[in-house]
Structure 1
Amino acid sequence: MSKAAATPCSPHVRAVMCKQKNLKYKVTTIADNKIFGFYVSLPSSESHEKLVKNFVWGENGLNERLKPLKWQVYGKDFELILIQFYVNPASSLREALKEIGSYSRKEKSIAIPVILDQENFFRHSEIERQEYFITIIIERLELLKEKVKRNKLDLNLEKLKIDTIKNLN
């Protein structure tokens, strides 16, 4: 179900690394029917790049830990929940980001932006960072509940939350 995308913000994308306007992007390959995908945007001068990439795509990173969660188990209306990490974003981007993106019926996907900065991530211990990831992902899935209800979408959100917590612990 991998599809190439014109922009890194589109949920269905292949693994890419590119530079544009002094930013680096890294996106998870969408394969194996995984319900979660990941995208990271970093300033090109970012010193935390290795740390963030390890937390997302490392041997015990989010991608590996959530890989067993397949979209078919949770309903027919969501094939991808793309978690977009923005590392130390500019204030203009920070203000423009919503807590949760719009649902795309065509792609059966939604993007969930998450800001990583000194305050909420980098100054904390590794255990606190792991806890932050779990907390923020579950909080954002909770926000998804209203979109699912309002748009009458087929997504077993409670099962997804339980399985997500189980795989992240």
Structure 2
Amino acid sequence: MTGPEACEVAQGKAEAEREKRTLVAVFASPVARHLLGYARDVGYDVVLYEPDAARATDVPDGFDIRTSMPELDGSADVVVTDHHRPELGPALQAALAGHARWIGVLGNPRHPGPHVAALKTLGVHDADIARVHRPVGLNIGSRTPPEIAIATIAGLIADRTGRPGGFAFP
């Protein structure tokens, strides 16, 4: 959509064409809380996958919270929001077994990703491990949970639309 139609959407005077999009945030965390809200704001159907229901206490009402990985189709983007959890390997293995469009793990790119060892321990093939993105989101220097969530959502939008993100415009 370009031209006047795009302006009408940006001004809230027309509905944008909407493809089905699902965001599965894995593990309840401060980043997940913001990620779910921002993702819903930009048109995602949102789900929190938290295998330990007792940890999902900081999630606002109205979000779909699951204790098992939901069924994933090509509309699903999966973001693991806590790479220190002991359930990291099984959670990613479940995501990889689905048909998610995109799977990523938050983490500092200067440190080795713990997901690699966790998945290798479970016997996951290298080709499947390579499907897991890390780092996640646009490189905007984010530090706080809301900033990390914004960078993540922006990165997913850029990836979905085939754009590089940032301020370089073709």
The structure with more radius of gyration? 2
What TM-score, normalized by structure 1, do the two folds share?
Answer: 0.29
What TM-score, normalized by structure 2, do the two folds share?
Answer: 0.29
More strand by share: 1
